[in-house]
A and B are shown apart, each in its own frame.
Chain A
């Protein structure tokens, strides 16, 4: 075998565990091939266990491992970093447990938290910046790792209970969709449930959203004076939570000249 055909055969062996591919290396190679196969699969399983600890706890090990095995067989890793591997796991979970909205919400929440951990650094908006901001020009963007998830269950409460090693509440569907903001604050990923008007604002943060536009959006619902007060309250809340950034992270570019 030349180098390319040898590597193709070993790749097929790892992806499938099919003995036909092992046979190409001879009987004496089988114990070694088994070690490589075991290492390959265990590493991927451990990667999923690390990223989805509370999904594992919620599902129980047998059901989690069934989903993980399915994922490992269906989706070999393609990226140089293992951190990319969990990204498509949610699809396997949903395929295996199609009526389980809690698990579907849990797995997406844990993936977002994991992504937030190493997302690009963006300095958050702080109260100290308020005085320097050009309120006409300044546009708000998500903080590091910021993302809004729409939940259809009480998965967030279940995650919180599991993270404190408490007994989780019973699974139940949400009466209405719940919007969850995930972001990173002080190096740690975190999340909270958004108020409906906040959720609309965060959903609009696909590009820098001028603070003036936020005021206008709220004014249509609340009237001028209440909108000003609500905008102030939300800005203070976001600053206290380090939940939002300014522009492309360069806060100075929006400073008042």
Chain B
């Protein structure tokens, strides 16, 4: 059975802590809790007492040509040891170079050189963290002519080489497919679903030239359709709604989660998974 949860952001902490909202799990941004002290971590521990927590990071930077920031990974380990999370995830991207941190998920060329570098960094991170990590397909706004394979093949090979799990963001597939001009059906068909542990569903915004992964809108019908297709091939995954801006009352997100449950049930009825 899939699990269903929400990306938990500040406006909804009290809803979860009240006990009135029943969720299978919540996901928080790891970096928002990697502090020496203060209320964020104390509040997260209260949430953890109510339901399982997944940690989702944005600063691991497994794609950096210059290697991992081991200090960051050790800080993440400290948080993991306190929270005992359901999953630990980050993105297939790079954010860091010596003396620079972009705080933006920057794209990688899908080359054998990049695969080799990311493989080393994922293995090293899993070693320091003492557990499997999940990597998410990010939204992309440009592709590279240097790429030697599609993103799904890159992630599949990475999963085989490192044992990492995958976090499939169906909105990101939709955004990237529209921006870079590939067929989202090919992506889903080729994606190594056997490695997927978690699925993100979110909204986006149409920019002047490109779709932008803003997480500030309701999930659109095209993304719901893509989610349903993905669920026909998915195993027992944890599904969640991710909303980071223009955050509505929690009931609106619970309504979207109800749609996710219904779509997942519909997909289970016509599933192609062996």
Using a CB–CB distance below 8 Å, which chain A residues touch chain B? 1-4, 6-8, 10-11, 14-15, 25-26, 28-29, 31-33, 35-36, 39-40, 43-44, 76-83, 117-122, 144, 184, 187
Within the complex, the shortest CB–CB distance from B182 to chain A, in Å, comes to 14
Among residues of A, the one whose C-beta sits closest to the C-beta of B73 is: A80
Which one of B102, B145, B212 has the greatest number of beta carbons of chain A within 10 Å?
A: B102
Q: At the interface, yes or no: B127 with Cβ under 8 Å from chain A?
A: no
Bound-complex Cα distance A76 to B101 (A) = 8
Q: Which DSSP category, helix, strand, loop or mixed, fits chain A's interface? A: helix
Q: B142, A3: Cβ atoms under 8 Å?
A: no
Q: A32, B31: Cβ atoms under 8 Å?
A: no
Among residues of B, the one whose C-beta sits closest to the C-beta of A122 is: B37
Bound-complex Cα distance A43 to B31 (A) = 15
Q: B109, A6: Cβ atoms under 8 Å?
A: yes
Q: A80, B145: Cβ atoms under 8 Å?
A: no
Q: A118, B38: Cβ atoms under 8 Å?
A: yes
Among residues of B, the one whose C-beta sits closest to the C-beta of A14 is: B102
Q: B114, A3: Cβ atoms under 8 Å?
A: yes
Chain A residue numbers with a CB within 8 Å of B114 are: 3
Chain A residue numbers with a CB within 8 Å of B108 are: 3
Task: Name the one of A8, A80, A144 contacting B69, with C-beta atoms under 8 angstroms.
Answer: A80
Q: At the interface, yes or no: B146 with Cβ under 8 Å from chain A?
A: yes
Chain A residue numbers with a CB within 8 Å of B111 are: 3
Q: B37, A120: Cβ atoms under 8 Å?
A: yes
Q: At the interface, yes or no: B117 with Cβ under 8 Å from chain A?
A: yes
Given contacts A3-B113, A3-B117, A81-B31, contact A40 B145 (CB under 8 A): no
Give 20 CB contacts A-B under 8 Å.
A2-B65, A3-B65, A3-B108, A4-B66, A6-B146, A25-B144, A28-B142, A32-B140, A32-B179, A33-B142, A35-B207, A36-B141, A39-B104, A77-B102, A80-B72, A80-B101, A83-B35, A118-B36, A119-B38, A120-B36
Bound-complex Cα distance A187 to B36 (A) = 13
Q: A14, B104: Cβ atoms under 8 Å?
A: yes
Bound-complex Cα distance A121 to B82 (A) = 15
Which of B19-27, B91-99, B190-198 contacts the other chain? B91-99
Chain B residue numbers with a CB within 8 Å of A31 are: 141-142, 208-210
Chain B residue numbers with a CB within 8 Å of A187 are: 38-39, 42
Q: B37, A35: Cβ atoms under 8 Å?
A: no
Residues 36-71 (chain B) with a chain A CB within 8 angstroms: 36-40, 42, 59, 63-66, 69
- Top 8 A-B residue pairs of the complex, sorted by shortest distance between their CB atoms: A32-B142, A32-B141, A121-B37, A118-B35, A187-B39, A31-B209, A120-B36, A118-B38
Chain A residue numbers with a CB within 8 Å of B141 are: 31-33, 35-36
Q: B104, A40: Cβ atoms under 8 Å?
A: yes
Within the complex, the shortest CB–CB distance from B201 to chain A, in Å, comes to 21
Q: B100, A78: Cβ atoms under 8 Å?
A: yes
Tally B residues with Cβ within 8 Å of A. Answer: 44
Among residues of A, the one whose C-beta sits closest to the C-beta of B99 is: A78
Q: At the interface, yes or no: B254 with Cβ under 8 Å from chain A?
A: no
Bound-complex Cα distance A118 to B44 (A) = 13
Q: B36, A119: Cβ atoms under 8 Å?
A: yes
Q: B100, A184: Cβ atoms under 8 Å?
A: no
Chain A residue numbers with a CB within 8 Å of B66 are: 4
Task: Name the one of A10, A43, A81 contacting B34, with C-beta atoms under 8 angstroms.
Answer: A81
Chain A residue numbers with a CB within 8 Å of B210 are: 31-32, 35
Chain A residue numbers with a CB within 8 Å of B109 are: 1, 3, 6
Q: A43, B100: Cβ atoms under 8 Å?
A: no
Bound-complex Cα distance A121 to B45 (A) = 15
With A40-B104, A44-B103 already in contact, 4 other A-B pairs whose C-beta atoms are closer than 8 Å: A1-B146, A4-B66, A11-B97, A40-B102
Bound-complex Cα distance A81 to B72 (A) = 9
Bound-complex Cα distance A35 to B99 (A) = 22
